[in-house]
Structure 1
Amino acid sequence: MNAIALANTEYVQRFGNPTTQTTSVTMERAIEENSSIRPILSAEVHLVLLTFLSYANFFVGTLGIVTNVLVILTYSKLGFSETINISYFFLAISDLCSSVVRSWGALCFVFVVMKTNLPFDPSSVSVTTGFYPGQGFEKTTAIITAFIAFERCLCVQFPLHVRTIVTKRKTVCSIVIIFVLGFLPSNLIHMVYPLKWVFSPSKNRTILAMVALETPLRHIVQRALLAYYSTVLNFSALIIVWICTVFLAVGLKRKAGIRKENLMNPSNSTSDKQKERRVIKTVFLLAITYLACSIPISATMLVPQFVPEFVPTRGLARISLVCVLFSSLITKLNYSTNFFIFLHMGSKFRQTCFALFIK
């Protein structure tokens, strides 16, 4: 579960529906009244940082939308004769969906948008339409990245049997299962935090807002999603990618030795070996980029386990929200960097992508 989403859902439970208290100032006052810890950041600095990071998250998310649309179009042109192209294609779809919902969620937290007289409450609506679906697609991307890295490890360890181990049908079925496990559970939030039309005294009109159901099931679903996404999927994907990255690094080193032998004996040099090495290097870069972009958000999830006040509804709320938005920004960078990795490493991808802009 995203920390901002957790902040909003906890806020509804503790301080009332956001339709009656829509400003961040009200939320901060309520938090300060319920905490003995003095905020590290002043309200003015906090507002400036949140506004800047919200805009940055929106623009980086928009960049992710553009780049992943290009990846999808390019691989549609290249075709799916190889299983790795299928994996790249679905990875781009997951990244695109995550970029769309994350950009929407970031836009809803821009202070100007929150003050606009809209027919819905942005901060609460974004929880079930932006952050929870974004969490689902984000973890789907993580598992697909782990799957791609694992698939390449099999190619390195069992090069003679890889065509029977990794087939198109198995790849498609595996990725469909990944989407089911990654995205579908996030929709459970609609059961306990549905969107309803309610009257807002502050706006003197009926608006669409997230409403917390007064039922024990709400706490069960919320805690289950928190454990599932923040712990099970998040750290499982990280561990798999870490292990596979080590094997890929060893594989790259071994391929480099084979390449030197081929240079000494040109008769043994083949385009297939060079192509395989390039694919392994591409997957290695994808894995390293994912790990680098996942460290901040993983650290943000771990800190509250040791510092209970470091959550968006307690004493360190201001610094916590800033860290959450910053780590979310770094995570979004991963959605667009994949395009540049494909562009740099794949000559066919590069030619096909450029051909999209040439009649």
Structure 2
Amino acid sequence: METVFSLNTGTYTQPESAITINTTMATDRDVKLTNTIKPILTAEVHDSLVMFFTCTGFFATIVGIISNILVVVTYAQIGYSDTINISYSALGISDLSTSVIRCWGSLCYVFVVTNAHVPFDPTSIVVTTSFFPGQGFEKATAFLTAFIALERCLCVQFPLHVKRIVTKKITVTSIVIIFLFTLIPSNFIHMVFPFKWVFSPIENRTILAMVPLQTPLRYIIQRALLAYYGTFLHFTALIAVWICTVFLAVGLKRTAKIRKDNFKHSNAQQDKQRERHVIKTVFLLAVTYLACSTPTAATMLVPHFVPEFDTSRGLERISRVSHLLSGLMTQINSSGNLFIFIYMGSKFRETFFKLFGKKTP
């Protein structure tokens, strides 16, 4: 008696005496899907796209790791007297973690493309070691962005009371809560996608692979996590960022008008220009976040409407490419913090260049 486990990368067949890898699809459902759905991408185009997105994504993760380390170090030098610096540091830590996990995911696909003889199945273990943990940190970044936008919004709307509203204790507590409800659920995937040592007839050796449990609980947890990260958290954070950004822009415009009416000297004009600059920067952050998050949302939503997107040979190639593209866009968003902070903050820019013994340009 055998139990067959169908994955994107192949099928794991478990006899009573041992666990063996079989590269053929064995279920009737998979055979029917294979016959009815033809591959959208040819093998050559698929391999070229995988190589391109993998290499580009790997380069972006290296940039993200370096840039976010510099962000965290720079804000540590500036200090945490302002609550916004605590939030920016938390954002840097979240983006740094995202970059590290994405770097590992890119390496897994490099191992596949180069046929490296590693002691594990790369496209199998990447699901639980990169994809779901990456989703956790990506959503932490999203909610930290929303929290920062809310904090700035309160500064504009209630300038005289914001110090009592947003204290260091509230800031730290909010950040901890964000990390808890975005990271803890991703660990549930290990309950139904455990690692096992399996024998590969092709390589004639035993390797480590992710072998999903064939129980109803597996499908419940898998779809619940996809809905939680791909729909609920993603769109909640997205809407929150947009709402706070709109209120921030309105508040800044109103403040600029008041200052223009009350102050006629040159400093008033400078304040107005500075505030316009902040408005443009906030909108740039929001548009960048929206543009980079949309591909991820689409990739996460499609399996809910097209279940075969992740299970059939016909759509397997387009599914893998779309996941790589959405991961690349997310990584670009995580890698740009350093450049945005240098552009936005004079104090950050001054401290950053002091780290390298240079004067602020």
Distance in 2 between residues matched to 1:263 and 1:134, nearest whole Å: 49
Distance in 1 between residues matched to 2:315 and 2:196, nearest whole Å: 31
Residue number in structure 2 paired with 1:210:
210
1:130-167 alpha-carbon deviations (Å, 9 max, x no partner): 11111110111111111111222222222221111101
Change (3 A) 1:112 1:192: closer
Distance in 1 between residues matched to 2:47 and 2:143, nearest whole Å: 35
1:295 positional shift:
1.6
Answer with 174-183 or 304-313: which moved more. 304-313
Residue number in structure 2 paired with 1:165:
165
Distance in 2 between residues matched to 1:283 and 1:54, nearest whole Å: 30
1:304 positional shift:
4.4
Q: Is the 8 A contact 1:149 1:287 kept in 2?
A: no
- In the TM superposition, 1:263-302 aligns within 5 A as 264-265=264-265, 282-302=281-301
- In the TM superposition, 1:1-359 aligns within 5 A as 11=7, 15-16=11-12, 20-21=21-22, 34-110=34-110, 115-261=115-261, 264-265=264-265, 282-307=281-306, 309-311=308-310, 313=312, 315-358=314-357
Distance in 1 between residues matched to 2:49 and 2:193, nearest whole Å: 29
Q: Is the partner of 1:16 in helix, strand or coil?
A: strand
Q: Is the 8 A contact 1:198 1:209 kept in 2?
A: yes
Change (3 A) 1:268 1:242: closer
**TM-score normalised by the chain length of structure 2:** 0.85
Q: Is the 8 A contact 1:22 1:121 kept in 2?
A: no
Distance in 2 between residues matched to 1:198 and 1:62, nearest whole Å: 32
What value does the CA root-mean-square deviation take over the aligned residues?
3.1
Distance in 2 between residues matched to 1:286 and 1:262, nearest whole Å: 30
Asked which structure has the greater CA Rg, the reply is 2
Change (3 A) 1:35 1:83: farther
1:315 positional shift:
3.0
For 2:168, give the aligned amino acid. Answer: K
For 1:208, give the aligned amino acid. Answer: L
Q: Is the 8 A contact 2:281 2:344 kept in 1?
A: yes
**Identity of paired residues, percent?**
62
Structure 1: which 5+ residue stretches go unaligned? 1-8
Answer with 306-315 or 103-112: which moved more. 306-315
Q: Is the partner of 2:148 in helix, strand or coil?
A: helix
Change (3 A) 1:314 1:203: closer
Distance in 2 between residues matched to 1:151 and 1:67, nearest whole Å: 24
1:172-197 alpha-carbon deviations (Å, 9 max, x no partner): 00000100011111111112112233
Answer with 326-335 or 64-73: which moved more. 326-335
Change (3 A) 1:52 1:265: same
Q: Is the 8 A contact 2:51 2:113 kept in 1?
A: no
1:264 positional shift:
1.7
For 2:55, give the aligned amino acid. Answer: Y
1:281-301 alpha-carbon deviations (Å, 9 max, x no partner): 655443332122112222333
Number of matched residues? 346
Structure 2: which 5+ residue stretches go unaligned? 14-18
Answer with 316-325 or 165-174: which moved more. 316-325
1:57 positional shift:
1.1
Change (3 A) 1:190 1:296: same
Change (3 A) 1:234 1:217: same
Residue number in structure 2 paired with 1:4:
none
1:190-221 alpha-carbon deviations (Å, 9 max, x no partner): 12112233332222222222122333322222
Change (3 A) 1:146 1:88: same
Change (3 A) 1:111 1:208: closer
Q: Is the 8 A contact 2:260 2:268 kept in 1?
A: no
Q: Is the partner of 2:314 in helix, strand or coil?
A: coil
Distance in 2 between residues matched to 1:195 and 1:211, nearest whole Å: 6
1:36 positional shift:
1.1
1:31-87 alpha-carbon deviations (Å, 9 max, x no partner): 896241322221111111111111111111111111101100100000011111110
Residue number in structure 1 paired with 2:16:
none
Q: Is the partner of 1:198 in helix, strand or coil?
A: strand
Answer with 302-311 or 140-149: which moved more. 302-311
